[in-house]
Amino acid sequence: MSLQNRVTPFGELVAVVSRGLFMGNRGGRLHRDDRTLGARRWVSRQWICCVTRFKGRHRAVWGSGYTELFFLDEPTALAAGHRPCFECRRRAAVAFAASWAAARQQSVAPRAADMDRVLHAERLDGRGKRRHSLPIDDLPDAAMLALPGEPNSVFALHRESLRRWGPEGYGDPRPRPRGILVDVLTPPSILAALAQGYRPQWHPSAQAPDV
């Protein structure tokens, strides 16, 4: 039986067979001793996105330590409100912090805790996912959104196309609409970092030719 450990762009935790390209956590342990989820969905504001292999370390997934979570790819993790880990993804984390600072015209990159404080307010509406109504024309590559009339479907912006997100990968590209408001899942501060040049790692299914 698959554990309820795959993160969707809505920030929800679901049970699917495939693990995806990245893992991460939300600051500690969410699961019970029987490897089922408890009531809470985070322990702290530190929501991170990590590599699945690092320095030969081995873990028993959902064992005695923190609750391991998994993402299809990095745009998925960013949409859910996770940022790159400063330990196992140091280069990506430094680039992310630099883009974050550039978006705010700051000369010094922010500390992880400072970014986490901002992101925690942007990714949550109570216990649920916060959506941000924004013009689709202003969104950067790798933003994730829900279209009007399709509130429960997720699409990723990939160059000039939309790609429907699924737990196993992305669907065929479709033309990117213009001039409409959409419900954006990716938090605004992450959108700003993307607009300033941060480049997340996509799942291979996103590499089909654009329309």
User: How high is the pLDDT of residue 210?
Assistant: 64
- pLDDT tens string 55-73: 777 778 898 889 999 999 9
Query: What is the C-alpha to C-alpha distance for residues 1 and 104, in angstroms, rounded to an integer?
Result: 45
Phi-psi region of 172 (alpha: psi -120 to 50; beta: other; left: phi over 0): beta
Contacts of residue 126, defined as CB under 8 A and 6 or more positions apart, other chains included, come to none
- 14: tokens are 């679901």
- The pLDDT, as a whole number, for residue 211 is 59
- Which pLDDT score is estimated for 90? 97
Which residues are within 8 A (CB) of 132 and not within 5 positions of it... i.e. 6 or more apart? 122, 183, 184, 187, 188
Q: Which residues of the chain have pLDDT under 50?
A: none
What is the per-residue pLDDT across 95-114, written as a single tens digit (0 to 9) for each? 999 999 999 999 999 999 99
Q: What angle do CA 111, 112, 116 make, to 5 degrees?
A: 120
**pLDDT score for 46:** 97
